[in-house]
Structure 1
Amino acid sequence: MTTLYRCITDDDTSQFCHRVSEALSKGWALHGAPTMAHDPVKGVMRMGQAVTKTVMAEYDPDMKLGQQ
């Protein structure tokens, strides 16, 4: 068994919420609180949320975490 880790980031829009919701629907779990920071170049707020998931496979650096 392996615990996988991802950090989902996106602009502070509904798209970010949909990406996190999709991960949760695929068995990922929230890991800590979300984070928010201002991107001065784009002039928008950016969001981040770490998620984890335990899988029945050995870790492989070539894994596509978003497809797990």
Structure 2
Amino acid sequence: MQVYRLLTEEDDAVFCHKVTEALTKGWELYGSPTYAFDPSTNKMRCGQAVVKEVSDDFVYDRDVKLGAL
């Protein structure tokens, strides 16, 4: 079974570190990154979807912290 996360952050090194951390924990890039202007902060934001294979025994629950998988 796969689980999915969308990582987002302002366009700075924090975003790159967030994605790199996910990759080191076994997450894989899913699709292309996205880049958009956030008018509420007047800054550009980045997004990257990531997926990870988990055991078929995994029981999904809305309260699960996906980043902890």
Could you state the TM-score of these two structures normalised by the residue count of structure 1? Answer: 0.92
Structure 1, unaligned runs of 5 or more: none
Structure 2, unaligned runs of 5 or more: none
| Percentage of identical aligned residues | 52
Instruction: Look up the match of 2:7.
Output: 8
Cα distance in 2 between the residues matched to 1:49 and 1:28 = 11
Q: Please state if 1:37 is matched with 2:36.
A: yes
1:31 match: secondary structure: strand
Q: Please state if 1:67 is matched with 2:61.
A: no
> Aligned-pair distance for 1:39?
0.9
> Aligned-pair distance for 1:41?
1.9
Cα distance in 1 between the residues matched to 2:5 and 2:24 = 15
Instruction: Look up the match of 2:23.
Output: 24
Q: What is the Cα-based RMSD across aligned positions, in Å?
A: 0.9
1:33 match: secondary structure: strand
Cα distance in 2 between the residues matched to 1:27 and 1:8 = 14
Cα distance in 1 between the residues matched to 2:62 and 2:2 = 13
Cα distance in 2 between the residues matched to 1:67 and 1:44 = 28
> Aligned-pair distance for 1:42?
0.9
Instruction: Report how many residues are paired.
Output: 67
